[in-house]
Structure 1
Amino acid sequence: MISMPGDVVLQDLPFDIELKKFVVENDETGMPKLFPSEIVTNDHETGAATPATVKVNEPAFYRGVAISTRHWCRPFRVGG
């Protein structure tokens, strides 16, 4: 466990989270409507691989931990 500024604590989890797919779905005006993430949690103890979908305001839960979308941005290129 590592204490960080701003009352943030970092700690190892008993599982890894693998992002399999991230999709941005737009509405009819071209504005982002949904951006779901397909993830897999890989349990260190059991070896189990558990798929889940994470959406805005719809986190996935694994071993008591909420996994949510915090932020995303459109891809961009710097330079030519």
Structure 2
Amino acid sequence: MPEHHRPRARGEPAPDGRGGRDRAGGDPVNGRLADRVALVTGGGSGIGAATAGALAAEGARVVLVGRRDDRLRSVAEE
């Protein structure tokens, strides 16, 4: 099987060296999204909220969009 088709374990860095998490505790490997802006739709709950958190952890400034202002504010405070 070609190397680029080989399944990777969760957190294992991609072959090109981007991304991944360290093995000690899930801290971001690098701030590769520093000085970037990410727009997350459905950011008030579920996958959208989790995506917003992951992007923020990588250094991105996150803009949340959704229907429930109270939920968006709650996610933004986290």
User: Shorter-chain TM-score: which interval?
Assistant: under 0.3
Comparing both chains, which one has the higher relative contact order based on Cα–Cα distances under 8 Å and sequence gaps of 6 or more?
2
Whichever structure has more strand as a proportion of its residues is 1
Larger-gyration structure (1/2): 1
TM-score, length of structure 1 as denominator length: 0.19
TM-score, length of structure 2 as denominator length: 0.19
